Structure formats: structure tokens, C-alpha cells
Amino acid sequence: MALRPDEFYERALAATDDEQRLPLARMTMWDISPFEQEGLRVTPLRPPVMPEKARHGEDPADCDGCRNRDKGIWFDEHWRLTRISGSGVPIVLMLHPREHYDLADLPDARAAELGVLTKHIAGHMQALPYVARAHVYRFGDGAAHLHVWFFGRPEGQGQFYGSWLPVWDDLLPVYPDDVAEADAVKVAEALTKSYGGHR
């Protein structure tokens, strides 16, 4: 039987120290971790809060994703692609449905498009000079309107492999904006040719 929030918390709490801190994550031992273990501390575990705080845009009338449905670098009838400025890696893009959907309520036809678009966007990002991989993430706790992140990992930076890439992105100095913008335009133009839609 699934653990209730209080049962989950009690089970986790049993693994904490006297300050209610869990041990360091196994991921901090990986050689791609941006942090050294010495001196690193886990935040004290907090009890669950029920009900959970509502995400931004649960009501489509207050949703930035809906309000900005016509802003971006690429569009088709159902989707829009935006560039996230101020990133540390070469390029960060975000794909949004133009209508108010989250991942779990995305109609099957839109879900199929999401898969195909993800393939095209990742391929076009990886075709950029000095971008080795396109990492794709969907988190979903901050906003109710679906948004899928695409991070371009810089070529040769094996230390940025895997799930730590968004953390490295936040730690790195801001990548030159004019270069990131020009690369985003290249991805949008390539997407228009390979998938359709328009800039």
C-alpha cells in the first residue's frame, strides 16, 4: 500500500541525523557533480504541508503560458518554442503547447506531436557548432502549463554529463547572448524546414 504523506515523512526522517539532515546524495559522489562533498550539507528535512501550494497558472485566466501563447521563436497551430536568455550553457529552449494543458491532460494527438517535436528540436540543437547533446527535461512543479526544457550541453564538457546539467547551467557565467540568439534562430529555421510551422 502506498505511503501517506505523513508515513513517507516519518520513514525519511528515520534516515536523518540529529539536525534532521539526510546524508549527502549518491549523486554528489559522481565525478560530474558540481559540488565537492567536503563542507556540503543537506537542508534539514521539513514535514509535509497539505494541501500543497497551487502552481502558477492553475487557472488559465492567470496563466503566463496562455497569456504569452503568441510569443516565441517558432510556432505552429498547437505549439510554440521560446529561448531562455541568461543561461550559462550555449542554448536553452522551452517548448509549450499554445493551449492550456499539462502533461497528464495533453490530448493523445498533442502528445504524439510532442514526441516528434522533441526529436526534431534535439537534433537541430545537436547540429549547432560546439553543442554535443540536447538534454530534455520536464519538471512540472512550478507552473501548471506544460513546458519542456531543452539544454544544449557544450561539446567537450564531460563534467556536465547527465542530470547535473541544469545545475551547472545556473553556476556558469552567462553565455554570450548574441551567439545564443543566433543559434536559437538557426534551430527555429531548421525546425520550420523539417517539421513545419513558422518563425
Answer yes or no: do 113 and 170 share one domain: yes
Answer yes or no: do 72 and 145 share one domain: yes
Answer yes or no: do 96 and 21 share one domain: no
Query: Is 27 contained in some domain?
Result: yes
Query: Is 58 contained in some domain?
Result: no
Answer yes or no: do 33 and 113 share one domain: no
Answer yes or no: do 37 and 76 share one domain: no
Answer yes or no: do 45 and 72 share one domain: no
Which structural domain, as residue segments, surrounds residue 107? 65-194
Question: DSSP secondary structure string, the chain?
Answer: -PPPHHHHHHHHHTTS-TTS-PPPPGGGGSTT-SS-STT--PPPPPPP-SSPPPPBTSSGGG-HHHHTTT-SSEE-SSEEEEEPPS-SSSEEEEEEESSS--GGG--HHHHHHHHHHHHHHHHHHHTSTTEEEEEEE---SSBSS--EEEEEEETT-GGG-GGGHHHHHHHSPPPPHHHHHHHHHHHHHHHHHHT--B-
Q: How many domains does one find in the chain?
A: 2
pLDDT for position 181 = 98
pTM, rounded to two decimals: 0.93
Answer yes or no: do 185 and 105 share one domain: yes
pLDDT along the chain (199 residues), means of 10: 92 93 90 93 94 94 96 98 97 98 98 98 98 96 97 95 94 96 98 98
Answer yes or no: do 158 and 93 share one domain: yes
Answer yes or no: do 43 and 139 share one domain: no
pLDDT for position 195 = 98
pLDDT for position 26 = 87
Query: Is 28 contained in some domain?
Result: yes
CATH classification at residue 85: 3.30.428.10
